[in-house]
């Protein structure tokens, strides 16, 4: 099941639980604006190349729209729509004053030189500069983009509108990026995990963890969880998977990954089939890679009692049903991985104030937001007698619906 179908399904279930009016329900699903632009640049060899850039702005009832820009060869409009909608609910769950957006350029960034990427980013910014803005739509990095991409967007946008550091987040620290942003999603995963385990009378210390995906989110989550006494027994990434029942030495693994660009060949554990990592024996499973990895084929074999969705949409609805029958608690992505967008909000706030925080303040504020988010989600679970995923969706949808009605926008 693709991301759009699953997101729409979750939205409709939440709308039904909340008893939303059918007109309001329909208007909440329709994107505010979809933008598609042609970006033509000279390549390094002098030839011209054209790429399609786009931005889906889903909803701005609660504030400016917020969401990533990805550079990827297969940019599917349906997926972008789903991710923009998901950002609307995610920012509402996190209780930060934003709506949802998503965008990108259909290109293969690995096949472009740095100067070609810069030209492409600047042309894209020229085409959309009057449709984004500090109080309109604030982009951020996503797959295939990073702090440097944001720096180019900031510079190009500032040529038209004057210096505006708050127009994008995820910037380099030197240009107004926030301390703690790099670790934010992983740290949010830790805080989310702590909140869920506390609910069940447990703590991170002594629990056995499996982490699928060892990019930014997975590696930070692994580092922070192991610092708290959690035992990481298996890890996988695109290069392979490793297992050590006594616990992997995470600092040593991080060093190995930095040197060899992957977990493959790490001597502090046995090599295993990457496909089997999800069904390894553990207490807590953290999928931190791609969507749709937990499905009806493997759901029955999962041994974890808790699943923390650090990736976007890692669990198919069919797997959801199988796992809830088994009594597995699943912490949904729209709450579990919201640490990144929350610290992006802190970055935006710091830029608008022209006053930067130290890292301790960033981390403390993040803990507060994640803890409050968990409490509000659990409150919705009790009110509507539903699981954590529906608790999160009803929380997000209800906040957006209320803002929409209060602004007098309902059809």
Residues tagged active-site: 102
The token pair that represents 225 in the structure block:
């969880």
Report the alpha-carbon distance of residue 328 to residue 344 in Å, rounded.
Answer: 31
Contact of 307 with 328, CB cutoff 8 Å: yes
- Binding-site residues for substrate, please? 66, 90, 344
Q: How many other C-beta atoms are found inside a 10 Å radius of the C-beta of residue 45?
A: 7
d(CA 326, CA 22): 34
| Cα–Cα distance for residue pair 11/17, rounded to 1 Å | 10
In the three-class reduction of DSSP (H, G, I as helix; E, B as strand; rest coil), residue 387 is classed as coil
Helices (H) and strands (E) counted in the chain, each on its own, are 13, 12
Binding residue positions for NAD(+) = 185, 216
Helical spans, DSSP H, in 95-208: 114-128, 147-161, 184-199
Helix (H, G, I), strand (E, B) or coil at 208: strand
Contact 285, 308 (CB under 8 A): yes
Q: Tell whether the torsion through CA atoms of 192, 195, 200 and 204 is positive or negative.
A: positive
Distance CA 261, CA 299 (A): 30
Q: How far apart are CA 25 and CA 2, in angstroms?
A: 21
Query: Which residues does 384 contact at the CB level (< 8 Å), separation at least 6?
Result: 17, 18, 390, 391, 394
Phi, psi dihedral angles at 99 (to 5 degrees): -110, -170
Structure tokens that stand for 364 in this block: 């403390």
């Amino acid at each position: 099941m693709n991301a759009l179908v699953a997101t729409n399904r979750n939205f409709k279930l939440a709308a039904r639980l909340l008893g939303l009016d059918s007109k309001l329900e329909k208007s909440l699903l329709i994107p505010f604006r979809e933008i598609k632009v042609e970006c033509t640049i000279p390549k390094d060899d002098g030839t011209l190349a054209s790429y399609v850039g786009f931005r889906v702005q889903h909803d701005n009832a609660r504030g400016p729209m917020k969401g990533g820009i990805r550079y990827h060869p297969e940019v599917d409009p349906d997926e972008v729509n789903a991710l923009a909608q998901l950002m609307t609910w995610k920012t509402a769950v996190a209780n930060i004053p934003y709506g949802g957006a998503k965008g990108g350029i259909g290109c293969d960034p690995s096949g472009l030189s740095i100067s070609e990427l810069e030209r492409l980013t600047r042309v894209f910014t020229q085409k959309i500069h009057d449709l984004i803005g500090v109080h309109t739509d604030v982009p951020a990095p996503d797959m295939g983009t990073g702090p440097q991409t944001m720096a180019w967007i900031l510079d190009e946008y500032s040529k038209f509108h004057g210096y505006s550091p708050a127009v994008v987040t995820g910037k380099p620290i030197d240009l107004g990026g926030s301390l703690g942003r790099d670790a934010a999603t992983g740290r949010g995963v830790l805080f989310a995990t702590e909140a869920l385990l506390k609910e069940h009378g447990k703590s991170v210390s002594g629990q056995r963890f499996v982490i699928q995906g060892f990019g930014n989110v997975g590696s930070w989550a692994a580092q922070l969880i192991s610092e708290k006494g959690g035992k990481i027994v298996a890890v996988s990434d695109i290069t392979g998977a490793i297992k050590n029942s006594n616990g992997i030495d995470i600092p040593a693994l991080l060093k190995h990954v930095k040197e060899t660009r992957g977990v493959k060949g790490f001597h502090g554990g046995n090599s295993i089939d990457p496909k089997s990592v999800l069904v390894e024996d553990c207490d807590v499973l953290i999928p931190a890679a791609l969507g749709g990895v937990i499905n009806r084929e493997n759901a029955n074999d999962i041994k974890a009692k808790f699943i923390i969705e650090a990736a976007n949409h890692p669990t198919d609805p069919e797997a959801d049903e199988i796992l809830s029958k088994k009594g597995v608690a699943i912490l949904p992505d729209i709450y579990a991985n919201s640490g990144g967008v929350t610290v992006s909000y802190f970055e935006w706030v710091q830029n608008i104030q022209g006053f930067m925080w130290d890292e301790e303040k960033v981390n403390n504020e993040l803990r507060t937001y994640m803890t409050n988010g968990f409490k509000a989600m659990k409150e919705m679970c009790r009110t509507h007698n539903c699981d954590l995923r529906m608790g999160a969706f009803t929380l997000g949808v209800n906040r957006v619906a209320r803002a929409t009605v209060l602004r007098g926008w309902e059809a």
